[in-house]
Amino acid sequence: MEKQYILSFDQGTTSCRAILFNRDAQIVGVAQKEFTQYYPTPGWVEHDAMEIWGSQMGVAREVLETQGIKPSEVAAIGITNQRETTVVWDRHTGRPVHNAIVWQDRRTAPLCDELKERGLEEYIREATGLVADAYFSGTKIRWILDNVEGAREKAERGDLLFGTMDTWLVWNLTRGECHVTDVSNASRTLLYNICTLEWDQRMLDELGIPAAMLPEVRPSSEVYGTTGAEMFGGARVPIAGIAGDQQAALFGQACFEKGMVKNTYGTGCFLLMNTGETPVPSKSGLLTTIAWGLNGKVEYALEGAIFIAGAAVQWLRDELKLIDSAEDSEYYAGKVDDAGGVYMVPAFAGLGAPYWDMYARGAIFGLTRGTRKEHITRATLDSLAYQTRDVIDAMQADSGITLKSLRVDGGAVANNVVMQFQADMLGVNVDRPVVTESTALGAAYLAGIAVGLWTQDEVVNKGRLERTFEPQMNAELRERRYKGWKKAVRRTMNWEREDEE
């Protein structure tokens, strides 16, 4: 039977998805399952790695069954994942020693302050391309070693393994044979040297993390191993692509040329600009990160990471219960001309790029007795566009490149109000592709390239636009609105710091 499908595992922050692509890179089936979010204390966010493994396998089997496709017809699996989220497990039992600590979790902020006090900021930026923030995996591993009874001793004996979700899934899929990650995921750990392309011994020493816990770092497109025979009814499917979800989206949008930018609107918003084969250091609060390793070389990106975007819409739905579904936000926001002077700063997990304030917290400003839920909903949607503007301004300053248009993808780009306001706030066209599942598509491309289903050149021609949003707001109004946003952001900063008056 011809092997003509690629199965993408998209292990996101809120759900596991399995997406089946045919050899024309068209989606033939999708299965998705949300999993539990744990908030044990304010500012902490955890996932159950066993639940994620079960959900991911569940959706993979479901999509094959519903489409009537045999596992033996799948040429390869590509894996893409929420990055930084940290799981540590026992290599003998396969059981995690603690819930996974999610990228949004702020518990290690004091440890990051300590790294700064020890004068490590510059070294961190140079060696890892990152900043001393609780976002990244390194301090989360350290927290587990310090807080789970017996973990440090076991880790030192070589009994514990660390992984981001890609590593965890591949380890389970291969029944413990492969403990690997790819360069794009490694570059988000705070432990990987993006210049020498090795684990950074100084960072390991500074954080007290035994090297024996770490996975082997590999390119983003190659056969890492095959699935255990019992996983898919006897078929041994090659696992042939791994990339962090934001880098995968950059690949899926075919941003292969230097200067090409995409923005993914999911739980958070992540803007990445391809900067080619040399790392570009940032002076404006962006991250320097590895885009992918492919064809014997590594390419880099500048990244603006916004922690809360679509998650703010979920908050309106789940916590405030202002809307019944994320889609409803478009309906309510569309009933008013604008946010009526209301600004919503969703600094629920501090602020990422370009502010990097672990102690900022969310706030709504400009409320009056005339403020309605439509205004609050509108202000929440506006915050996705304002935060993106913050990052684009930084990116233009760092790269010297002026943005001509923005390619978008991710769940929240279905929202036309957000897309129009984004074009207005940037003053450039916003291009929405037909396939907005760029993340899964990128992982499929990487896996398909590794098994010879297509070449990188063929990938360039596959993307098609569904709609372009053109700016309609005049420049004076745009800048006035944006100034209000900056004022609101300033007032949320440092909120959680104990010593702040």
Ligand X SMILES: O=P(O)(O)OC[C@H](O)CO
Ligand Y SMILES: Nc1ncnc2c1ncn2[C@@H]1O[C@H](COP(=O)(O)OP(=O)(O)O)[C@@H](O)[C@H]1O
Q: Decide: is 86 part of the binding site for ligand X (CB under 6 A).
A: no
| Residue numbers 215-254 binding ligand X by CB under 6 A | 244-246
Q: Which is nearer to ligand Y, 220 or 380 (CB)?
A: 380
82 contacts ligand X (rule: CB under 6 A): yes
304 sits near ligand X (criterion: CB under 6 A): no
Q: Rounded distance, CA 29 to CA 232, Å?
A: 17
Q: Does 330 bind ligand Y (CB under 6 A)?
A: yes
CB atoms within 10 A of CB 116: 13
Residue range at the interface with ligand X (CB under 6 A); choices 82-90, 166-174, 175-183, 227-235 = 82-90
Q: Which of 302, 298, 318 is nearest to 310 (CA)?
A: 318
137 in a known ligand binding site: no
In the bound state with ligand X, the residue whose beta carbon lies nearer, of 13 and 108, is 13
In sequence order, the 6+-apart residues with CB closer than 8 A to the CB of 262 are: 249, 250, 253, 255, 271, 272, 406, 407, 408, 409, 438
Q: Which is nearer to ligand Y, 87 or 313 (CB)?
A: 313
| Number of residues this chain uses to bind ligand Y (CB under 6 A) | 19
Within 10 A of 118 (CB to CB), how many other CB atoms are there?
A: 11
Segment near ligand X (CB under 6 A); pick from 60-68, 265-273, 423-431, 478-486: 265-273
Question: Is 267 marked within a binding site?
Answer: yes
CB 355 within 8 A of CB 491: no
SS3 at position 217: strand
Nearer residue to ligand Y within complex by CB, 43 or 411: 411
Which of residues 75 and 435 has its CB atom nearest to ligand X in the complex? 435
Q: Please indicate if the annotation marks 310 as binding a ligand.
A: yes
Among 275-283, 309-317, 356-364, 440-448, which window interacts with ligand Y (CB under 6 A)? 309-317
Q: Which does 47 bind (CB under 5 to 8 A by kind): ligand X, ligand Y, none?
A: none
Whether residue 411 is annotated as binding a ligand: the answer is yes
User: x/- binding map, residues 377-416, to ligand Y, per CB under 6 A?
Assistant: ---------------------------------xxx-xx-
**Which region holds residue 48: left if phi is over 0, alpha if psi is between -120 and 50, else beta?**
beta
Task: Name residues whose C-beta falls within 8 Å of residue 450's C-beta, 6 or more positions apart in sequence.
Answer: 76, 221, 222, 223, 238, 240, 241
Q: What is the CA radius of gyration of the chain?
A: 22
Instruction: List the single partner that 103 binds among ligand X, ligand Y, none, CB under 5 to 8 Å by kind.
Output: ligand X
13 binds ligand X (CB under 6 A): yes
Nearest in space to 241 (alpha carbons), one of 450, 53, 437, 83: 450
d(CA 144, CA 49): 14
Out of ligand Y, ligand X, none, which partner does residue 414 contact, by CB within 5 to 8 A per kind?
A: ligand Y
Nearer to ligand X, 39 or 331 (CB): 39
* Position 313 contacts ligand Y (CB under 6 A): yes
| CA distance to 41, 426, 487, per residue, from 369 (Å) | 33, 31, 21
According to the binding rule CB under 6 A, does residue 388 interact with ligand X?
no
Q: Judged by CB, which is closer to ligand X: 272, or 417?
A: 272
User: Which of 316, 418, 421, 311 is CA-nearest to residue 364?
Assistant: 316
Q: What are the beta bridge partners of residue 141?
A: none
The site for ligand X (CB under 6 A) is made up of 12-13, 82-84, 103, 244-246, 266-268, 305
The site for ligand Y (CB under 6 A) is made up of 12-15, 266-267, 310-311, 313-314, 326-327, 329-330, 410-412, 414-415
